[in-house]
Structure 1
Amino acid sequence: MNYTQNEKIKQVDEKTLVVGVDIAKETHYARTFDNRGIEYGKVIKFNSTREGFESFEKQIKEIAEIIGREKIIIGIELTGHYWYTLANYVNKKEMMLVQVNPYHVKRAKELECTK
C-alpha cells in the first residue's frame, strides 16, 4: 500500500502498541512502546525459531492486554536476511509489520545519545 506521511502517522494512535525489534542471526530483542514513546515491560529476548516467535507473540499480546492496547505494530530494520523468518511468522499471524529505514534508526540513536 502507498501511504502518505499523514496516513502513516495516523496508524499509531492511543490504541496501538508499538514493538521495535532488533533483528540478529539467532537471537532477536524487542521493546514495546505506546504512541507517545513510553516504554512498557522489559526487553523481550527471543530466538529465531518457531518456539521463540510464539513466546514473543505471547509476551507482546500480554503487554497489549495489560495496558489496554487493541492494535500491535511491529517495526523491524531490514538489514541482512535474518528478518525473513520473523516477517513470515508475523504475516501469517496477521499482525502489522512495518519496515524501518536503517538511516532513521541511526539518526534516532544519535539523538538519544547526545545530552
Structure 2
Amino acid sequence: MKFKTQDKPNQHTVHHLVIGVDIAQETHVPRAVSFRGIALGTPLEFGNHREGFDQFERWINDPTNL
C-alpha cells in the first residue's frame, strides 16, 4: 500500500506556531502563521548578513511581533 500525504493526519495543534521564510538573494521575509493557517503579526524584512539574521532572531523571540 502506498502512503499518500493526504492520508497523514494534521500534526499541528494549538501549541504550534509555524514560521515560514521567503528567501531571496538579498532580502528575506519571515511570517508567523497559526496552526490553522492564519497569518499573525507583521512580516519582517531582513538582509542577508549577520545583522539581518540577528534582527530575525530578535523578531522570533519577541512575542509582540507574533
Whether these two folds match at TM > 0.5 is: yes
3-state SS of 1:55 partner: helix
Structure 2 residue 21 is the aligned partner of structure 1 residue 21? yes
CA deviation string 1:48-97 (max 9, x = no partner): 1111111111112213x776xxxxxxxxxxxxxxxxxxxxxxxxxxxxxx
Please identify which structure carries the higher helix content. 1
- Listed as ranges, the matches of 1:1-115 within 5 Å are 5=5, 6=8, 9-10=10-11, 12-63=12-63
Larger Rg: 2
Identity %: 38
Cα distance in 2 for partners of 1:56, 1:13 equals 24
**Which residues of structure 2 form unaligned runs of 5+?**
none
Cα distance in 1 for partners of 2:37, 2:44 equals 17
Cα distance in 2 for partners of 1:48, 1:14 equals 32
TM-score by length of 2: 0.72
CA contact (8 A) 2:17 2:33 kept: yes
TM-score by length of 1: 0.45
Cα deviation for residue 17 of structure 1 reads 1.3
3-state SS of 2:29 partner: strand
Give the counterpart letter for 1:54 in structure 2.
Answer: D
Cα deviation for residue 41 of structure 1 reads 1.0
**Which residues of structure 1 form unaligned runs of 5+?**
68-115
3-state SS of 1:20 partner: strand
- Note the aligned Cα RMSD (angstroms): 2.4
